[in-house]
């Protein structure tokens, strides 16, 4: 609304080019302009990093045009929006993704080469935005890409941590954590909104007061901080739509503790003000109108329920009844965990001190809920106690999961098996009460990032054989590759693509560790957070077994061994001792094997440090085989497997999480399944001490215990954890089946034609695991939102 300035506005529009142009000369001019005026370097002297900065700003200008148009269009159409709340977004690098989604990658690459720069080299200058821990956080990033691509009117909300997830540095085989001050070199993708700020209150007391004759609650806070918005435009692919990811940073508020300034202690007062910024300074490093829909990505943002309720009651002065009615219509909740311990709790004392009004509201919600519940189920105290939001005990806790389930209209799991576990175990009491609330949306990943950006050769190959690029927006078309699964020409080209990616990965390994690996070997990868349930230890024990077998073979048998390069990568939570020991074990075993001349290229083991999105983009396309070894029933979904699958990498996996659905898509014959099924796991655990483990298993554990790899004292507790009744994750029970699956993989690998066919069929069957499908399902079945496409 230009109001009185209408005349001026029209003149201003006349002064601007309608849109920035994308021909090579305009792009070069733009880049040079940014070199000179944004980066403030002379256009005759700037290095790769400065060129990257100028490039990024030229891209950002084009991004902003579309973003503005989208926001204006949404405002005009005013559709129902979804607000996607997540405390973690693992975006990685943005440049390549953005230019590809904007459809101007090649134009920029041409322009740069005319300036004497290589696009890929500049893209590597960008640091990763690691504002999250692992799968859950990368899932949010994939889902933002799909929301934009599918034209949904969505806004993502999260926190702008100053320190992202720690950098993993390996010293003598041990993990060390270093801070990731990712903003040190600036972030061209964010737009600081100094005028979009909200006061956030903490501490203080709540009193009853009368307003217009009505009793109401007034919260007088003890401290205030200011939340400042940073907007990050997220472009869709093949659309003009560009949505917003708004990340909040905490800043000291003007009203923050002004008292101490007045009392004269200036320095202390300033230091105290800085405390405010610490709220958004660090990512917690653990793996763990009515026309809106608010999506809770796990319980982490679930305080939003109490906050919305507070705003409706105390600021909008709605009745409890009206406010509660709104809450129940807008919130939906997705849980990403299978273990009861994974469900977040907040001590009542802590919450009552920090957010006294919110605690009151939660108590009120709980009171009403329990009263209703009593009417429905009677005085079944055990069940009432389990379902209450408040957990009684030595430390009284608020169960954030119960709060989320009670207040949400829909509770989603992230795979079919996960949903079944939620209904029968984790949330059984709630399922029995409200079966209609429970749904699931099997996770997905975006093919834009995981094929188009990270595997350009495969992308080109797929488009060539399908005769279209439409699969980049419509993943179901990938199935068309099935028609050529035995085509000799495609086989040739498919193998070439894999080779190119293996070369890239091999070069990285050599640059990083000095280790030369053979391209003929099977590249066998397990990259993900280090966790006992993910069983990296099973992989390492399998490698020791393989090493031991080779050592005991004669010359003839050795000729039959399929050479392997085993690659493991992932971070351990800083306080997770056992996970850190697994990393050290991997290193000592690697040291031993890689330096054993007797073994040569038959077996190599590499640990890739600091696994993050960018490293994944290089590792995944280069993998022949990938391992997903979680004890069945423990991985809610798993999303790494989907990226490998899309890249035509074969899977060696347990029947857990989304893998079960992968079997349905590509068939059991095209992957290497092993291990106990989820229901068998329960039975096996019951067997306890009578459970038999194979001799091979005992032998490899003994090798570690006997100091074959050194550090036997250090590894004792690790070995103790997997022997006898303490083998909770059933490494011993699954070991034989694991070795058999590995043998089957070896056998398939030597038959090149068969392997290539399996690889093609893996990629062809990966369509169901696109986040486009996941988001479509959320939009239709949970959020009830429609696409709102901005005209080109």
Would residue 336 show up in a list of annotated catalytic residues for this protein?
yes
Considering only 61-69, 309-317, 509-517, 629-637, which stretch makes contact with ligand GL4 by CB under 6 A?
Answer: 629-637
* Tokens found for residue 616: 């994944």
- Using a 10 angstrom Cβ sphere, with 0-12 exposed, 13-18 middle and 19 or more buried, the burial of residue 212 is exposed
Would residue 29 show up in a list of annotated catalytic residues for this protein?
no
Would residue 399 show up in a list of annotated catalytic residues for this protein?
no
User: If residue 201 lies in a helix (H) or strand (E), which one and from where to where?
Assistant: strand 191-202
Contact 213, 200 (CB under 8 A): no
The CA–CA distances, whole Å, from 501 to 458, 497, 617, 649 equal 9, 6, 10, 12
Among residues 66, 93, 336, 773, the one annotated as catalytic is 336
Where in 73-92 is the site for ligand GL4 (CB under 6 A)?
none
Distance in Å, CB of 61 to ligand GL4, minimum: 34
Angle at 543 (CA atoms; ends 618, 337), nearest 5 degrees: 65
Residue 30: count of CB within 10 angstroms of its CB: 22
- If one asks whether residue 336 binds ligand GL4 (CB under 6 A), the answer comes out as yes
Considering only 128-136, 264-272, 303-311, 477-485, which stretch makes contact with ligand GL4 by CB under 6 A?
Answer: 128-136
The CA–CA distances, whole Å, from 228 to 81, 193, 197, 276, 315 equal 22, 7, 5, 12, 21
Distance in Å, CB of 742 to ligand GL4, minimum: 23
Distance in Å, CB of 336 to ligand GL4, minimum: 3
- If one asks whether residue 638 binds ligand GL4 (CB under 6 A), the answer comes out as yes
- If one asks whether residue 408 binds ligand GL4 (CB under 6 A), the answer comes out as no
- If one asks whether residue 139 binds ligand GL4 (CB under 6 A), the answer comes out as yes
Nearest to 329 by CA among 436, 408, 411, 404: 408
Considering only 394-402, 607-615, 636-644, 728-736, which stretch makes contact with ligand GL4 by CB under 6 A?
Answer: 636-644
Would residue 643 show up in a list of annotated catalytic residues for this protein?
yes
Q: Among residues 639, 742, 759, 762, which is the contact residue for ligand GL4, using CB under 6 A?
A: 639
Q: Among residues 127, 134, 233, 252, which is the contact residue for ligand GL4, using CB under 6 A?
A: 134
- Locus of tokens 């918005």: 229
The CA–CA distances, whole Å, from 413 to 437, 441, 653, 657 equal 11, 6, 21, 10
Residue 163 is classified by DSSP as B
Contact 541, 731 (CB under 8 A): yes
- If one asks whether residue 635 binds ligand GL4 (CB under 6 A), the answer comes out as yes
Q: What is the DSSP string of 461-488?
A: HHHHHHT-SGGGT-GGGGGGGGGGTT-H
Cβ proximity to ligand GL4: between 443 and 647 the closer is 443
The b/e string for 217-245 (b: 16+ C-beta within 10 A; e otherwise) is eebebebbbbbbbbbbbbbbbebbbbbbb
Distance in Å, CB of 400 to ligand GL4, minimum: 13
- If one asks whether residue 96 binds ligand GL4 (CB under 6 A), the answer comes out as no
Distance in Å, CB of 514 to ligand GL4, minimum: 32
Cβ proximity to ligand GL4: between 223 and 635 the closer is 635
Distance in Å, CB of 264 to ligand GL4, minimum: 47
Cβ proximity to ligand GL4: between 573 and 700 the closer is 573
Q: What values do phi and psi take at 398, rounded to 5?
A: -95, 125
Distance in Å, CB of 287 to ligand GL4, minimum: 5
Site map 262..291 versus ligand GL4, x via CB under 6 A: -------------------------xx---
Nearest to 297 by CA among 533, 135, 81: 135
- If one asks whether residue 301 binds ligand GL4 (CB under 6 A), the answer comes out as no
Residue 723 is classified by DSSP as S
Count of residues interacting with ligand GL4 (CB under 6 A): 16
Among residues 639, 659, 756, 774, the one annotated as catalytic is 639
Would residue 504 show up in a list of annotated catalytic residues for this protein?
no
Would residue 34 show up in a list of annotated catalytic residues for this protein?
no
User: What is the contact surface with ligand GL4 in residues (CB under 6 A)?
Assistant: 134-136, 139, 287-288, 336-337, 414, 443, 635-639, 657
Residues taking part in catalysis: 336, 528-529, 534, 639, 643
């Amino acid at each position: 609304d230009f109001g009185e300035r209408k005349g001026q506005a029209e003149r201003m529009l006349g002064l601007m080019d309608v849109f920035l142009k994308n021909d090579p000369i305009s792009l070069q001019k733009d880049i040079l302009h940014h070199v000179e005026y944004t980066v403030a370097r002379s256009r005759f002297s700037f290095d790769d990093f400065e060129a990257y900065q100028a490039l990024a700003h030229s891209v950002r200008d084009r991004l902003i045009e579309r973003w503005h148009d989208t926001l204006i269009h949404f405002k005009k159409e005013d559709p129902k929006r979804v607000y996607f709340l997540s405390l973690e977004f693992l975006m990685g690098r943005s440049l390549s993704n953005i230019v590809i989604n904007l459809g101007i990658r090649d134009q920029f690459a041409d322009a740069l080469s005319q300036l004497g720069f290589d696009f890929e080299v500049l893209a590597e200058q960008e640091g990763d935005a690691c504002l999250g821990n692992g799968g859950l956080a990368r899932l949010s990033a994939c889902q933002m890409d799909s929301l934009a691509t599918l034209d949904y009117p969505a806004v993502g909300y999260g926190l702008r941590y100053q320190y992202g997830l720690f950098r993993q540095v390996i010293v003598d085989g041990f993990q060390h954590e270093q801070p990731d001050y990712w903003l040190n070199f600036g972030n061209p993708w964010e737009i600081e909104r100094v005028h979009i700020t909200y006061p956030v209150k903490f501490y203080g007391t709540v009193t009853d007061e009368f307003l217009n004759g009505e009793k109401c609650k007034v919260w007088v806070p003890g401290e205030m901080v200011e939340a400042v918005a940073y907007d990050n435009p997220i472009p869709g692919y093949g659309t003009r739509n560009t949505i917003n990811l708004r990340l909040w940073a905490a800043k000291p508020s003007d009203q923050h503790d002004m008292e101490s300034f007045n009392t004269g202690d200036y320095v202390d007062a300033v230091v105290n003000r800085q405390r405010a910024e610490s709220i958004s300074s660090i990512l917690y490093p653990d793996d763990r109108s009515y026309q809106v829909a608010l999506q809770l990505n796990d319980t982490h943002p679930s305080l939003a329920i109490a906050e919305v309720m507070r705003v409706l009651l105390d600021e909008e002065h709605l009745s409890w009844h009206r406010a509660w009615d709104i809450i129940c219509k807008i919130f939906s909740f997705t849980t990403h965990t299978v273990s009861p311990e994974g469900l977040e709790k907040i001590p009542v004392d802590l919450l009552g001190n920090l957010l006294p009004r919110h605690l009151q509201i939660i108590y009120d919600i709980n009171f009403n809920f329990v009263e209703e519940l009593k009417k429905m189920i009677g005085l079944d105290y055990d069940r009432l106690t389990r379902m209450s939001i408040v957990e009684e005990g030595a430390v009284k806790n608020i169960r954030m999961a119960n709060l989320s389930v009670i207040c949400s209209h829909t509770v989603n799991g992230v795979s079919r098996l996960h949903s079944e576990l939620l209904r029968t175990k984790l949330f059984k009491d709630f399922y029995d009460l409200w079966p209609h609330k429970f749904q699931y949306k099997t996770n997905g990943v975006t093919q834009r990032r995981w094929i188009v950006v990270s595997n350009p050769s495969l992308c080109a190959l797929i488009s060539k054989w399908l005769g279209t690029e439409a699969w980049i927006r419509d993943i179901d078309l990938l199935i068309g590759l099935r028609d050529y699964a035995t085509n000799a020409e495609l086989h040739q080209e498919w193998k070439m693509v894999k080779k190119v990616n293996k070369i890239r990965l091999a070069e990285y390994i050599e640059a990083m560790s000095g280790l030369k690996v053979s391209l003929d070997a099977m590249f066998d990868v397990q990259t993900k957070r280090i966790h006992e349930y993910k069983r990296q230890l099973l992989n390492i024990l399998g490698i020791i077994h393989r090493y031991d077998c080779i050592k005991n073979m004669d010359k003839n048998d050795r000729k039959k061994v399929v050479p392997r390069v085993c690659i493991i990568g992932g971070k351990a939570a800083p306080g997770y001792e056992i996970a850190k020991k697994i990393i050290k074990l991997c290193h000592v075993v690697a040291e031993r094997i890689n330096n054993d001349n007797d073994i040569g290229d038959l077996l190599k083991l590499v640990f890739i440090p600091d696994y993050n999105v960018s490293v994944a983009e290089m590792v995944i396309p280069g993998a022949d085989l990938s391992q997903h070894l979680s004890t069945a029933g423990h991985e809610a979904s798993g999303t790494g497997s989907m990226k490998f699958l899309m890249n035509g990498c074969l899977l060696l996996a347990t029947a857990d999480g989304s893998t079960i659905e992968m079997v349905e898509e590509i068939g059991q014959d095209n992957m290497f399944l092993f291990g106990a099924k989820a229901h068998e796991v329960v039975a096996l655990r019951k067997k306890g001490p009578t459970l038999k483990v194979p001799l091979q298993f005992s032998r490899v554990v003994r090798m570690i215990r006997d100091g074959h790899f050194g550090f036997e004292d250090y590894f004792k507790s690790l070995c103790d954890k997997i022997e006898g009744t303490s083998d909770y994750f059933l490494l011993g029970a699954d070991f034989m089946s694991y070795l058999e699956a590995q043998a089957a993989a070896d056998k398939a690998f030597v038959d090149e034609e068969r392997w290539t066919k399996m690889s093609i069929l893996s990629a062809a069957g990966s369509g169901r695991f696109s986040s486009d499908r996941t988001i479509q399902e959320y939009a239709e079945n949970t959020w009830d939102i429609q696409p709102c496409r901005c005209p080109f």
